[in-house]
Structure 1
């Protein structure tokens, strides 16, 4: 384990220019990139142009660098590189899984009432094309009372083929008990075949400490541009070994296949590359790998998570003490998302007012509230300053 005292937060923050002229609470939307990522991206572009962007030298270099990025991502998820498909974002990863399942008319998809609109739209179109049934279970109501696993179990039927959920809910900040839910789905005895679980991990990768093989989750779609503070346009999909055997590719390209000596398609790749398509912005891969390395300079995933929880609890505790301000969660956060609203105040107007004063937060539509994202990079003084401004608004 890396000693988090090796480099101070103040020293770490000096590597993130986006933190130096604003008070940033929007990591759940997009993280601020470190200088090391920006430099890595620029240097990669320069090298590729100098050596010839489609030369043998550059193509060999790209293969090596992509492998290093895949390994860095796998290390963060406590898995192996062969289980990782590189994508552009969470939605692309979810689409790979959703369109790759061999759907049959009458199959059912169960999702929670806290999912992102991009995933909902995909599921609705799949249901239309393949004559599927879509069920929605009320997870939002379990934020402060109730057991989300039991709610999901109540909605499982013999026709349920896939359960779609978020590990860390993007609207309320609730952390779902993933391993417990996966076990309940996999062990559901009335189903004709094992119920699989697809996770929207937009908020959990780079935020929660993860061991995906231990969780036994089937599909875990994530991005590098939020809590990992990498560039937009690089994400991934973890596919378990069991799920990989049954998932079919939908978009297909030269990265998906092995060829014979005459360059003709011969077989699918036998690892995560099977679901990759063609040319990507490879310099951005360098940017994500550099960001991951910079985080690990400060501490491993557990140390970073503990710091996030400490700071989010500090914010939540102060917000709880403000009359007229309501936190959605009535107990300390389990991660870095703190959602709240001010009575008799329009949340959009509050967020615009905060941004004019240098505080970056955002509003959410359902439930209508304000979300603050607390990173391990956040300072207690920044939290104090935000609370002072919110008190004045109230």
Structure 2
């Protein structure tokens, strides 16, 4: 069976991909039937055995371990460095609030970060009196050295650099190794927090090799897992410097009388309490599902091929300008209409024709995301619909 034939069989497992062209993987990925079944079966099993019973508690422990192991393998990381969370924003909150901020400390953020993360940083500034510096990373989309630009914006007091691995608005991949090296040259105290919302599940990763301190991610985008399960990678070196932000029974140790005595080892210390554990079974199944088609590297190569194909076709339209002047590095293609038509109006028009993309505010543009699951014919359908609009 050819890779394309097998891909078509895989697509049949996604109810959300039927009768539509879906380009919103960067917002939320669709769930395959095996994932839906795993979630449903897990909820049913919990009810059969008793929601709070020895059997269910044992099953919960197994699901937590299996999920942590599955995630760690995908990230090339040790399971001890992984904390299970609900989403990227929770992971970023854990890292941002867990540092011992002092008045006069500085934080460097790029001008391409998600507003949810920006809002957290603004509140930390209000409460702790830190200084925020912004690096115009958007300038380096088509030319320039992102690592050098970040280095130029570092100060001796910079405690933390906050950036995305794959920028959610422009689709640029930032060179993490070089950026971390620049931060360490600035100061051994300068740490790096990465928003991995668009990179995890779309790119092959080995986080220890990058040298980053914190890496927040989710399972509901490119992994096509259920909403409500994500994680935070905390490097072994950074673990002792990051205090728990949210505290609950899953992250603490107890004495013989059941009283708290300290934190659990590794990333577990940042976990809180009861979660929707059947979703863990769903994420495990989603991760395994993608491996049926190919390795992370093979899937990423197909994503790059498809994004290049869509970019070339969009670039040929006279009233469309792609933000990138060269083929995209990953699966995000952002473009603008130059005929004065509203981007929102275009998105609404496309959705009426069962083609799903989204608008972004900064830069003001339309974003389409291609997965390895995407077909060339879907890219053609999107381009032809935009041309008609």
Query: Shorter-chain-normalised TM-score: which range?
Result: over 0.9
Instruction: After superposition, give the CA deviation of every residue in 1:171-218 in whole Å (9 maximum; x if it has no partner).
Output: 010111111101111121xx3x42100001110000111000000110
Structure 2: which 5+ runs fail to align? none
SS in 1 for 2:57: helix
Q: Which residue of 1 aligns with 2:144?
A: 146
Structure 1 residues 289 and 7, CA, compared in 2 at 3 Å: closer, same or farther?
farther
Q: Which residue of 2 aligns with 1:358?
A: 354
What are the residue-to-residue correspondences of 1:73-152 with 2, within 5 Å?
73-152=71-150
- The CA distance in 1 between the partners of 2:292 and 2:111, in whole Å, is 38
SS in 2 for 1:8: helix
Paired residues in the alignment total 388
Alignment partner for residue 290 of structure 1, among 285, 289, 298? 285
Alignment partner for residue 170 of structure 1, among 168, 171, 177? 168
- TM-score normalised to the size of structure 1? 0.97
Contact 1:6 1:298 in 2 (8 A): no
Q: Which residue of 2 aligns with 1:224?
A: 219
Q: Which residue of 2 aligns with 1:33?
A: 31
Instruction: After superposition, give the CA deviation of every residue in 1:261-296 in whole Å (9 maximum; x if it has no partner).
Output: 111111210111100000000001111111000001
- The CA distance in 2 between the partners of 1:80 and 1:305, in whole Å, is 23
What are the residue-to-residue correspondences of 1:270-285 with 2, within 5 Å?
270-285=265-280
- The CA distance in 2 between the partners of 1:356 and 1:7, in whole Å, is 29
Alignment partner for residue 15 of structure 1, among 7, 13, 24? 13
What are the residue-to-residue correspondences of 1:215-364 with 2, within 5 Å?
215-343=210-338, 344-364=340-360
SS in 1 for 2:52: coil
- The CA distance in 2 between the partners of 1:382 and 1:298, in whole Å, is 19
Residue 201 (str. 1) matches residue 168 (str. 2): no
Structure 1 residues 187 and 4, CA, compared in 2 at 3 Å: closer, same or farther?
farther
Instruction: After superposition, give the CA deviation of every residue in 1:302-359 in whole Å (9 maximum; x if it has no partner).
Output: 0110000000000001111111100000000110000001111110000000000000
- The CA distance in 2 between the partners of 1:268 and 1:151, in whole Å, is 38
Contact 1:7 1:297 in 2 (8 A): no
SS in 1 for 2:133: strand
Alignment partner for residue 186 of structure 1, among 184, 188, 191? 184
- The CA distance in 2 between the partners of 1:27 and 1:4, in whole Å, is 24
SS in 2 for 1:187: helix
- The CA distance in 1 between the partners of 2:4 and 2:296, in whole Å, is 15
- TM-score normalised to the size of structure 2? 0.98
- The CA distance in 2 between the partners of 1:26 and 1:4, in whole Å, is 26
Point out the more displaced range, 106-115 or 16-25: 16-25
Contact 1:4 1:298 in 2 (8 A): no
Structure 1: which 5+ runs fail to align? none
Structure 1 residues 6 and 84, CA, compared in 2 at 3 Å: closer, same or farther?
farther
- The CA distance in 1 between the partners of 2:66 and 2:358, in whole Å, is 34
- The CA distance in 2 between the partners of 1:358 and 1:6, in whole Å, is 23
SS in 1 for 2:19: coil
- The CA distance in 1 between the partners of 2:211 and 2:306, in whole Å, is 30
Contact 1:4 1:303 in 2 (8 A): no
SS in 2 for 1:208: coil
SS in 1 for 2:292: helix
Q: Structure 1 residue 6: deviation in Å? A: 10
Residue 378 (str. 1) matches residue 377 (str. 2): no
SS in 2 for 1:135: strand
Q: Structure 1 residue 4: deviation in Å? A: 8.9
- The alignment's C-alpha RMSD in Å is 1.2
Q: Which residue of 2 aligns with 1:60?
A: 58
Q: Which residue of 2 aligns with 1:390?
A: 386
- The CA distance in 1 between the partners of 2:2 and 2:46, in whole Å, is 35
